[in-house]
């Protein structure tokens, strides 16, 4: 579940994550971030606090949970990371999008525009389109990400930098199977 610490006391947000959902996994909060005075979470279940979350994303407004539609995770993927870069919310991981006309399209990074999650052009690849972004940090005015991807031109992999317009692998990348 998700809890709030306030002056020595711990409180659940709403009624918390209830009845363990479809995956029978009550501790399945994959990622969490504060964005525009709300808490956004990626839950690996179909509900939180009694509220159905069709896209497995929920938001807490300070008093109640609400569904935040857009990313479909029950078919091959999940949001592993949120970050805010240049005042815009990014979701990263490996997932498909709800209402997508191309059902086999898998995304690794999308950006919230207030109504939907358009894809962010990501020039790297991985075998069988299994790109996964596991972590991110904002450093020196750029978004850095880590995960399973590589540059098909140079073969370098694992860590990339985004300046808002251009992606590049950092240094020589990471050696090893996963990058």
Report pLDDT digits (tens) over 42-64: 877 777 878 877 667 888 898 88
Query: For residue 70, how far is the Cα from the chain centroid?
Result: 12
Q: How far is CA 167 from CA 45, 104, 122, in A?
A: 33, 24, 7
Residue pLDDT, tens place only, 105-144: 566 888 888 777 777 888 887 765 567 888 999 999 999 9
Instruction: Give mean pLDDT, residues 75-101.
Output: 74
Which pLDDT value is given to residue 144? 95
Which pLDDT value is given to residue 69? 66
Q: How confident is the model at residue 99 (pLDDT cuts 50, 70, 90)?
A: very low
As a whole number of angstroms, the distance between CA 16 and CA 100 comes to 30
Which pLDDT value is given to residue 1? 63
Q: How confident is the model at residue 161 (pLDDT cuts 50, 70, 90)?
A: very high
Which pLDDT value is given to residue 75? 39
**What are the tokens at 162?**
């985004």
Are 57 and 35 in contact by the 8 Å Cβ rule? The answer is: no
Alpha-helical runs (H) found in 70-165: none
The pTM of the full predicted model, rounded to 2 decimals, is: 0.78
Question: Using CB atoms within 10 A of its CB, is residue 177 exposed (0-12), middle (13-18) or buried (19+)?
Answer: exposed
């Amino acid at each position: 579940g998700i809890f709030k610490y306030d002056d020595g006391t711990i409180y659940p947000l709403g009624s918390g994550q209830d009845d363990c959902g479809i995956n029978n996994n009550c501790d399945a909060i994959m990622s969490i971030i504060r964005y525009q005075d709300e808490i956004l979470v990626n839950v690996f279940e179909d509900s939180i606090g009694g509220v159905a979350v069709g896209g497995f994303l929920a938001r807490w407004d300070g008093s109640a949970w609400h569904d935040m539609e857009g990313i479909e995770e029950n078919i091959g993927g999940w949001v592993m990371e949120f970050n805010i870069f240049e005042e815009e919310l990014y979701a990263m991981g490996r997932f498909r999008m709800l209402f997508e006309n191309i059902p086999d399209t898998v995304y690794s990074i999308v950006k919230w525009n207030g109504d939907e999650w358009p894809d962010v052009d990501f020039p790297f690849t991985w075998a069988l389109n299994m790109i996964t972004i596991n972590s991110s940090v904002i450093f020196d005015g750029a978004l850095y990400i880590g995960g399973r991807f590589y540059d098909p031109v140079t073969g370098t992999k694992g860590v990339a930098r985004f300046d808002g317009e251009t992606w590049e692998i950092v240094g020589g990348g990471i050696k090893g199977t996963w990058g």
